[in-house]
């Protein structure tokens, strides 16, 4: 197995997608933000309004914005015209905030990085907006849940 972004000379390289067919691509990623009780108590009141604005709603917008700009953040990532991006955040007393980012596009390459970036930035936004209450916030378990399109589909076990 070889790394996709390394060329024959063992140097970084963008994957050449010129010969690939355009197909419908989807991806869904998840991140969990473990929140201390004090933060959960604040957010659990239908999305607390912090000094910076409504926490969960702001995280949703930030995640969508980040997914759209993934190629500017991740070296060698192709720019993709995203056709749909949705972020869902649910609060759970055990896990804290569970963030799911779903992305769709018709393209020659997948949208996994866009979904992962959207979930990650939404999680970072929650951290940023809640750190005034507690710094004991942990972002964990950022992962791809599923993808479709391209050579093979993937679904996490």
Query: Using an 8 Å Cβ cutoff, are 16 and 7 in contact?
Result: no
Tokens standing for 25?
């691509």
- Taking only the tens place, the pLDDT of each residue in 22-80 is 999 999 999 999 999 888 887 766 665 666 678 999 999 999 999 999 999 999 999 99
User: Which residue would you say has higher pLDDT here, 73 or 5?
Assistant: 73
Average pLDDT over residues 4-21: 82
Task: For residue 16, name the pLDDT band (cuts at 50, 70, 90).
Answer: confident
128 as an active site residue: the answer is yes
The domain that holds 100 is classified in CATH as: 3.30.70.640
Residue 126, in any domain of the structure: yes
- Taking only the tens place, the pLDDT of each residue in 100-109 is 999 999 999 9
Q: 136, 129, 140: which is closest to 43 by C-alpha?
A: 129
Residue 70, in any domain of the structure: yes
Q: How many domains does the chain have?
A: 1
Residue 149: partners with Cβ closer than 8 Å, 6 or more residues away: 23, 24, 25, 26, 110
- Taking only the tens place, the pLDDT of each residue in 90-102 is 998 887 999 999 9
Alpha helices by DSSP H, listed for 84-140, are 112-130
Residue 17, in any domain of the structure: no
Radius of gyration of the chain, Cα coordinates, nearest whole angstrom: 17
User: Which residue would you say has higher pLDDT here, 1 or 156?
Assistant: 156
For the sheet with 84-92, list strands across it: 84-92, 96-107, 23-34, 138-148, 154-155
Residue 18, in any domain of the structure: no
- Taking only the tens place, the pLDDT of each residue in 127-155 is 999 999 999 999 999 999 999 998 899 99
Options 128, 136, 141, 153, the catalytic residue: 128
pLDDT at 89 over 90: yes
Residue 65, in any domain of the structure: yes
H or E segment at 43?
helix 37-43
Query: Using an 8 Å Cβ cutoff, are 58 and 52 in contact?
Result: yes
């Amino acid at each position: 197995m070889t790394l996709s972004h390394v060329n024959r000379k063992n140097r970084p390289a963008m994957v050449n997608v010129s010969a690939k067919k355009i197909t419908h691509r989807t991806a869904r990623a998840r991140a969990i933000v473990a929140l201390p009780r004090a933060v959960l108590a604040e957010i659990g009141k239908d999305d607390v309004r912090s000094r910076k604005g409504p926490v969960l709603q702001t995280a949703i917008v930030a995640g969508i914005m980040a997914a759209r700009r993934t190629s500017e953040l991740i070296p060698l990532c192709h720019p993709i015209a995203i056709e749909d991006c949705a972020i869902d955040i649910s609060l759970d007393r055990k896990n804290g905030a569970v963030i799911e980012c779903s992305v769709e596009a018709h393209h020659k390459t997948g949208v996994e990085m866009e979904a992962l970036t959207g979930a990650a930035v939404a999680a970072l936004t929650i951290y940023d907006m809640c750190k005034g209450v507690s710094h004991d916030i942990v972002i964990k378990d950022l992962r791809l849940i599923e993808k479709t399109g391209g050579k093979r589909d993937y679904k996490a076990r």
